C-alpha cells in the first residue's frame, strides 16, 4: 500500500483545526464553543475519518511507526 505525506492527511488537518479552535477558546473566553463539546466533535470526527481512510502516512520518509517505506 502506498503511503501519503502527512500534509495530505485529512485527519492531520482536522486535528490541527481542532487544536486551533481549542486555543482560541482558551484565549478568548467569549468564544461560543464549550471545550467538552469540542472533545466530542474531535472524537467523532477522528472515528469517521479513520473509517474513510486506510493509507498509512509518512513524515520525513518514515511512517509514523518508524518503518521504512520503499517507493
Number of domains in the chain: 1
Q: CA–CA separation, 47 vs 43, rounded Å?
A: 6
Residue 68: inside a domain: no
User: Quick check: is 71 in a domain?
Assistant: no
Residue numbers of the domain that contains 54: 4-60
Weakly modelled stretches of the chain, pLDDT under 70: 1, 61-71
Task: Kindly state whether residue 45 falls inside one of the protein's structural domains.
Answer: yes
Asked if the structure places residue 41 within a domain, the reply is yes
The values of phi and psi at residue 62, to 5°, are -125, 150
* Per-residue confidence (pLDDT) for residue 65, from 0 to 100: 55
DSSP string, the chain: ---EEGGG-HHHHHHHHHHHHHHHHHH-TT-S--HHHHHHHHHHHHHHHHHH----EEETTEETTS-B---
Amino acid at each position: 500500500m502506498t503511503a501519503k505525506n502527512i500534509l495530505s492527511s485529512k485527519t492531520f488537518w482536522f486535528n490541527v483545526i481542532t487544536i486551533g479552535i481549542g486555543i482560541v477558546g482558551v484565549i478568548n473566553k467569549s468564544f461560543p464553543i464549550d471545550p467538552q463539546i469540542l472533545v466530542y466533535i474531535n472524537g467523532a470526527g477522528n472515528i469517521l475519518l479513520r473509517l474513510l481512510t486506510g493509507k498509512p502516512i509518512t513524515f520525513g520518509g518514515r511512517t509514523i511507526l518508524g518503518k521504512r517505506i520503499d517507493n
